[in-house]
């Protein structure tokens, strides 16, 4: 019995420590003048499933997240991505080789969630994902609609995630980065790692990196 309680204490401590050695990452002011014109970006948009062995800069990550679902109207906190009923249900978790972070759009920073390389959870059998320097995972928190987990609400969450993903697809096409929108990922491992509630549904993800040229 005593051994069991010691083991439980150790496990609880380990879980509390899991994100502690990671620090919050303040992001840079988004560069709103970079990239090619919007029609050229549509022309370039395509899925890439191979990435160069090169990290993204902090400016790239900052611009990527702002384009994905950052605040573009500080007066009322509205976002670069529209959302059904303006419920802003999509949270972006950022998987990198050192750990997992949650994008805080209000602070424009990355909040540590879990230490270590967990990109295998996003790969879902597609190994190229493990080589992407950054994987963005879109989780819809259906509780923000305040209508239960109905089919209609799930559809709204899925559509909101698709719009965030398309922001990322077009951003990447516009600035010369590579990405692919994906639905594959290990849902149950994700739920466990991120301690998601039943109303938080992983919808899609975008691995992002530099093209191989």
Ligand X SMILES: Cc1cc2nc3c(=O)[nH]c(=O)nc-3n(C[C@H](O)[C@H](O)[C@H](O)COP(=O)(O)O)c2cc1C
Query: Which C-beta is closer to ligand X: that of 181 or that of 211?
Result: 181
By CB under 6 A, is residue 181 in contact with ligand X? yes
Segment interacting with ligand X, rule: CB under 6 A, options 32-40, 43-51, 97-105, 108-116: 43-51
Q: Give the residue with the Cβ less far from ligand X, 126 or 199.
A: 126
Of positions 47, 86, 150, 197, contacts ligand X by CB under 6 A: 47
The dihedrals phi and psi of 203, each to the nearest 5 degrees, come to: -105, -50
Size, binding site for ligand X by CB under 6 A: 9
164 makes contact with ligand X (CB under 6 A): no
- Report the C-alpha gap between 206 and 90 in whole angstroms: 14
What DSSP line would sit under the chain, residue for residue?
Answer: -HHHHHHHHHHHHHHHHTTTTS--EEPPPP-TT-S--HHHHHHH--------S-PPPHHHHHHHHHHHH-EEETTTTEESS--GGG---EEEEEE-SSEEEEEETTTTEEEEEEES--HHHHHTT-GGGGG-SEEEEEEEEGGGGTS-S-HHHHHHHHHHHHHHHHHHHHHHHHHT-EE--B--S-HHHHHHHHT--TTEEEEEEEEEEPPP-
Query: Scanning residues 97 to 126, which ones bind ligand X (CB under 6 A)?
Result: 126
State the minimum distance, in angstroms, from the CB of residue 33 to ligand X.
27
User: Is there binding between residue 187 and ligand X (CB under 6 A)?
Assistant: no
Q: Which is nearer to ligand X, 115 or 181 (CB)?
A: 181
Segment near ligand X (CB under 6 A); pick from 62-70, 139-147, 171-179, 182-190: 182-190
Among 23, 32, 40, 46, binds ligand X (CB under 6 A): 46
Q: Per-residue string for binding with ligand X, 122-161, x by CB under 6 A?
A: ----x-----------------------------------
Selected range binding ligand X among 19-27, 97-105, 142-150, 181-189, rule: CB under 6 A: 181-189
Residue of the chain from 57, 149, 152, 184 that contacts ligand X (CB under 6 A): 184
What is the binding site for ligand X (CB under 6 A)?
46-47, 49, 126, 180-184
């Amino acid at each position: 019995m005593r051994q069991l309680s010691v083991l439980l204490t150790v496990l609880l401590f380990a879980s509390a420590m899991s994100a502690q050695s990671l620090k919050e990452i303040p992001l840079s002011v988004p560069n709103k003048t970079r990239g090619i014109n919007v029609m050229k970006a549509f022309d370039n948009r395509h899925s890439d499933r191979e990435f160069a062995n090169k990290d993204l800069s902090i400016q790239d990550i900052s611009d990527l997240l702002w384009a994905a679902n950052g605040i573009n109207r500080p007066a009322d906190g509205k976002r670069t991505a529209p959302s059904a009923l303006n419920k802003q249900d999509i949270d972006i978790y950022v998987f990198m080789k050192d750990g997992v972070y949650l994008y805080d759009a209000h602070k424009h920073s990355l909040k540590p969630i879990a230490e270590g390389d967990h990109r295998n959870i996003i790969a879902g059998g597609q190994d190229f994902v493990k080589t992407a320097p950054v994987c963005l995972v879109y989780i819809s928190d259906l509780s923000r609609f305040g209508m239960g987990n109905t089919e209609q609400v799930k559809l709204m969450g899925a559509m909101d995630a698709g719009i965030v993903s398309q922001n990322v697809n077009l951003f990447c096409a516009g600035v010369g980065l590579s990405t692919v929108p994906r639905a594959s990922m290990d849902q149950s491992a994700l739920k466990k790692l991120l301690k998601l509630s039943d109303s938080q549904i992983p919808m899609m993800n975008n691995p992002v990196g530099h093209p191989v040229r």
